[in-house]
């Protein structure tokens, strides 16, 4: 079977500013791929090109066998028709850095709005499903709360539930923990980790290296609009080949890449790599149910 996401030669310019300069990667079904890289390198733009929030200026994107966009022989772009775009978007859930919940609707209504209007679900079914999803992200008791009454961590979990309510085949996460207090990141990462374990295909832009190490199958390192390095998560994170990757990991981890002390012992690389991630793993392990949600 084809990869769920196929991105080939993806380019995107804003005016004269070429932000993506030919990006190629695939995401297999059930795979979790993390995109890491410095700020401004084009990570968000990649995600937004997949569901056409941004219109690529070159290359080809395919999701679940459907062509999102493709470059024709003469260099012009052909995009999916309006109706097809919506069908593709039904398959692709997206979670934003700044949540983008609908502030005038309760958590429950945030989740049911799209299933009701896009998938024609009945109110009863949509509500029942939304309550299940809220339970699954540890917020069953917050169904009637408005977004501004929730913490950042809670809002982001509602946003994840909202995307999941459309039963997407693919979830896009764009630095979903960067706008929340660090102590609340764990409850979001926990939900994402569980989602990954349930087999969801995920493309995750993140600065949470421990999460990438723990959950991602593969990691793409992107810098200045090109994929500089990609591979198995443990390889990229523990034994980066490219100096730019190394410098970046050094900066975000505030130390050498995760396997700093044992480049020689390839066999022990796995242990060492994940040993490194233990530094952060208590955040990942925070149980949302046990979190500060009762207020």
Partner 1 sequence: MEWDWGIVGRTFDLLLLGTRLTLVLFFFSSLLGTVLGLVLALMRMSRFRLARWSSLFYIWVFRGIPVLVILFFAFFVVGRRMGLTSVQAGSLGLGFSAAAYIAEIIRAGIMSVDPGQSEASEALAMTKRHYMRRVILPQSIRVIIPTYMSNSILVLKVTSVAVAIGIVELTGITRQLSNSTTRPIELFTAAAVLYVFLTTVIVVVQEVLERRFALKT
Give the footprint of partner 1 on this chain (CB under 8 A): 51, 53, 86-87, 89-90, 92-94, 96, 98, 100-104, 113-114, 117-118, 146, 148-149, 159, 162-163, 166
The residue at minimum Cβ distance from Mg ion is: 44
47 versus 272: smaller Cβ distance to partner 1: 47
77 versus 252: smaller Cβ distance to partner 1: 77
Position 156 contacts ligand ADP (CB under 6 A): no
Minimum distance from residue 175 beta carbon to Mg ion (Å): 6
Q: Which does residue 242 bind out of partner 1, ligand ADP, Mg ion, none, counting CB within 5 to 8 angstroms by kind?
A: none
Position 55 contacts ligand ADP (CB under 6 A): no
Q: Which does residue 40 bind out of Mg ion, partner 1, ligand ADP, none, counting CB within 5 to 8 angstroms by kind?
A: ligand ADP
39 versus 264: smaller Cβ distance to Mg ion: 39
14 versus 261: smaller Cβ distance to partner 1: 14
DSSP letters spanning the chain = ---SEEEEEEEEEETTEEEEEEEEEEE-TT-EEEEE--TTSSHHHHHHHHTTSS--SEEEEEETTEEEEEE-TTS-EEE--HHHHHHHHHHEEEE-TT----TTS-HHHHHHHHHHHHS---HHHHHHHHHHHHHHTT-GGGTT--GGGS-HHHHHHHHHHHHHTT--SEEEEESTTTTS-HHHHHHHHHHHHHHHHTT-EEEEE-S-HHHHHHH-SEEEEEETTEEEEEEEHHHHHHS--SHHHHHHHHHHHTSS-TTTT-SS-GGGHHHHHHHHHHHHHHHHH--GGGSS---
Binding-site size, ligand ADP (CB under 6 A): 11
97 versus 230: smaller Cβ distance to partner 1: 97
Binding stretches for ligand ADP (CB under 6 A): 14, 17, 19, 37, 39-45
């Amino acid at each position: 079977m084809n990869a769920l996401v196929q991105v080939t030669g993806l380019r995107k310019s804003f005016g004269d500013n070429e932000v993506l300069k030919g990006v190629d990667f695939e995401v297999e079904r059930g795979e979790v791929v993390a995109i890491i890289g410095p700020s401004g390198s084009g990570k968000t733009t990649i995600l937004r090109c997949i569901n056409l929030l941004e219109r690529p200026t070159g290359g080809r994107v395919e999701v679940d066998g459907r062509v999102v966009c493709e470059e024709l022989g003469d260099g012009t772009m052909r995009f999916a028709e309006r109706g097809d775009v919506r069908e593709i978007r039904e398959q692709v859930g997206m979670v934003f850095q700044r949540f983008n919940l609908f502030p005038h609707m309760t958590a429950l209504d945030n989740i049911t709005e799209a299933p009701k209007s896009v998938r024609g679900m009945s109110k009863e079914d949509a509500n029942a499903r939304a309550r299940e999803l809220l339970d699954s992200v540890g917020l069953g008791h917050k169904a009637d709360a408005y977004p501004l009454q929730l913490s950042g961590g809670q809002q982001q979990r509602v946003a994840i539930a909202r995307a999941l309510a459309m039963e997407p085949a693919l979830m896009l996460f764009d630095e979903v923990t960067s706008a929340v207090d660090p102590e609340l990141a764990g409850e979001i990462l926990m939900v994402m980790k569980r989602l990954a374990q349930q087999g969801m295909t995920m493309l995750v832009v993140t600065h949470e290296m421990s999460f990438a190490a723990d959950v991602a199958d593969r990691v793409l390192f992107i810098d200045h609009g090109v994929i500089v390095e990609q591979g198995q998560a443990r390889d990229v994170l523990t034994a980066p080949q490219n100096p730019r990757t190394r410098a970046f990991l050094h900066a975000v981890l505030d130390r050498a890449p995760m396997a700093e002390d044992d480049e020689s012992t390839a066999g022990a690389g796995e242990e060492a790599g994940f040993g490194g991630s233990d530094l952060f793993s208590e955040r990942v392990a925070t149980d949302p149910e046990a979190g500060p949600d009762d207020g």
